[in-house]
Amino acid sequence: MSGVKLTKDVFGEIKDSKTRQIKTVSRFTWTNANKVSVQVINYGGYITSIKVPDKNGKIDDITIGFKDIESYLKPENRYFGATIGRVANRIGKAKMEIDGIVYGLAANNGENHLHGGVVGFDKVIWDATMKGTKLTLSYHSADLEENYPGDLITNVTFELTNESEFIIDYKAVTTKICPVNMTNHSYFNLAGNGTGAEELYKHIVCINADKITEVVEAIPTGKLTSVLGTAFDLRVPTELGQVINKVPNAPGFDHNFCISKGSKQDNAFLASVYHPGSERVMEVYSNQPGVQFYTGNFLPKEDVLKGKDGFIKKHGALCLETQKYPDSVHHDNFPTTIIYPGEQYHHSVIFKFFVKT
């Protein structure tokens, strides 16, 4: 594709979690004519950097992350930019029944299962293939890995376009009935990733959703509740600082929004974020029915977690994780996450970046 370049270099070396052998972690960098650049590594499928010009042409990195591979291996890493799977978000009580069989899962979030388990897709080395300006990361998740049934073959393709759209396309097939619900867990701050909560509160957020999944202690009850008249009504662009402290029973947003309208096949508008100071805009489009809006509520309050540009702190960035609804395996009224042998899981998401004019 004219105007877009994709290059590869070495990000570091790690010991593979399966083979225990030392393996090289590769970094892939896209650049386009609009001076937008994106970096992805094949460890965990992490987006490690997204750099975008502001209204004056000043380029800032707008995602949280680290400068070296060693930092991504530490437990302090909160999935900063990771590819999440097999199942993103939470599964209540860390168990599920599939085709009459009960599977116990890792309880790695209190008594619940989170983001694929102890060694989810964010903690493995993916095979990488470059073709033109597209990068495809491939991973074979073996039957009963993290106690999920079936051999799952997953391909995640990344691409930056001339129009400054960063496209992620997930596909997977299985040998047994199993749940699949992948996402990307990037944290965004359009003012620049080191600017913190002060600038994040100035962001104008819009989410195309008239309902959320009601939760009790982060686990859905199965009920969908209207956003009307609540802090969750972000259908009209709203300054984050005006509503983040009005979220009931929570220190900010960490909720699944049920997307209004849009087909299952086409990438519908999900959300937009605008930072007035820089005039940067990010729009999100996807074929998924939900998006988890998270405002970094559980990041440290103090200067203890060093990122690539300053300290990573509470409310310093936000996430828009496209997905099917959390804990869908326990709620028949939710969009199903179950795929069968012979079927293909397909999830597409577009992050579009531009300056408001």
What is the per-residue pLDDT across 187-226, written as a single tens digit (0 to 9) for each? 999 999 999 999 999 999 999 999 999 999 999 999 999 9
186 annotated ligand binder: yes
Beta carbons within 8 Å of 326's beta carbon, 6+ residues apart: 88, 89, 90, 91, 213, 215, 219, 220, 256, 292
Residues ≥6 apart with Cβ < 8 Å to 68: 11, 12
Q: What is the pTM of this model?
A: 0.97
From the candidates 159, 165, 199, 321, which is the catalytic residue?
321
Q: Are 320 and 271 in contact (CB under 8 A)?
A: yes
pLDDT in tens, 263-292: 455 899 999 999 999 999 999 999 999 999
Hey, what are 281's tokens? 């805009």
- pLDDT tens across 86-119, in order? 999 999 999 999 999 999 999 999 999 999 999 9
Catalytic residue among 115, 185, 203, 255: 185
Question: Domains in the chain, ordered, with CATH?
Answer: 5-355 (2.70.98.10)
User: Does residue 185 carry a catalytic annotation?
Assistant: yes
Decide: 269 and 262 in contact? Cβ < 8 Å: yes
Q: CB under 8 Å to 28, separation ≥6 — which residues?
A: 6, 7, 8, 39, 40, 41, 42, 128, 130, 135, 158
Q: What is the mean pLDDT of the chain?
A: 96
> Model confidence over 48-69: pLDDT tens digits?
999 999 999 999 999 999 999 9
347 among annotated binding-site residues: no
Q: Report the DSSP pairing between strands 219-226 and 238-239.
A: unpaired
* pLDDT of 1 over the 50 cut: no
350 with 286: CB under 8 angstroms?
yes
Local structure of 109: helix, strand or coil: strand
Cβ-Cβ contacts under 8 Å for 325 (sequence gap 6 or more): 213, 220, 256, 258, 289, 290, 331, 334, 335
